[in-house]
Amino acid sequence: MEYKQTRQGYVDALIEMAEELPEMVVLDADVGKATLTLQFAKLFPERFFNCGIQEQNMLCVAAGMSLEGKIPFASTFGVFATCRAGDQLRNGIAYPKANVKVAVTHCGITVGGDGASHQSNEDIAITRSFPNMTILVPGDYEEAKLATKAAARMNGPVYLRLGRDKYPVISELHGSFIIGKSKLLYPGTDITIITTGIMVSEAIKARELLSEEGFSIRVVHMGTIKPIDEVAILKAAKETKGIVTIEEHSIVGGLGEAVAGIVAENHPCPVRRVGMRDIFGESGQAQELLDKFGMRAKNIIEEVKKIL
């Protein structure tokens, strides 16, 4: 299986779009080596702006550029864009519906050795609560490219969530990316697993193991968290015995709560959530942390069997 970085997919998409979209510019907060935007800067130096370690200022500059007809992609780490610059993200971008794409890397527990201070496990919850904000969480390198291009084409604020580590390339995710639409990866009638971001590979593993035991498992991938695909969620609630969500994010305010809220209001069924509990992370290797905090196929299987 091939492994690639979602942040690399983001930058490769920017480079591919550069000629087509001359109004597109890229901003960074002095972490261009980590976000990989320096690769864009080398090719298009006149369209790259390093704002320094000033995330709040960077988002304000991006908002101003959007008013002048530019399409700014502002990059930093997820925790800095949402926690440090949350005021500017809310009032400078979401509130006025500024056409700014905030593309963040190093999200979730797989940031690894940087520890709890840099592991953004609450950023989806924060941005979900902002009106006008579109939230995209691609599952692999190719989908990250597709999501970046979709973000550039739409008018309005976008929060594009990317990771640090290398993750499996999942062919089922490829082909197209429609904002607000999920992807049915596998049909099934017993339980639906709904996934987002890099957890898609663990969901597929869980399905394979459960299939060996004779269970029919549906797998739905949510590349868009907001606006979320309510139709696919309610279809799963009506056609299967329950739903298990899996996300590399806190279960507080993330994918799981979004799914549970829709189900509770429209067609109640059992919903179990797999993700970070209400706890901060810690330093460690990415794969070790996924094991420790229970974001593996075996954890999904445990929740599936609780429903069945």
Please identify every residue annotated as catalytic: 55
Return d(Cα 163, Cα 5) in angstroms, integer. Answer: 7
**Which has the closest alpha carbon to 197: 232, 160, 231, 233?**
160
Residues 203 and 176 sit within 8 Å (Cβ to Cβ) = no
- What is residue 75's three-state secondary structure? strand
Return d(Cα 163, Cα 7) in angstroms, integer. Answer: 6
- What is residue 226's three-state secondary structure? strand
Residue with tokens 């109640």: 268
**Which has the closest alpha carbon to 173: 230, 223, 210, 231?**
223
- What is residue 133's three-state secondary structure? coil
Return d(Cα 288, Cα 283) in angstroms, integer. Answer: 10
DSSP tag of 120: B
Strand residues in the chain grouped as ranges (E): 3-5, 24-28, 48-50, 71-77, 101-105, 134-136, 158-161, 166-168, 183-186, 191-195, 217-221, 224-226, 243-250, 271-276
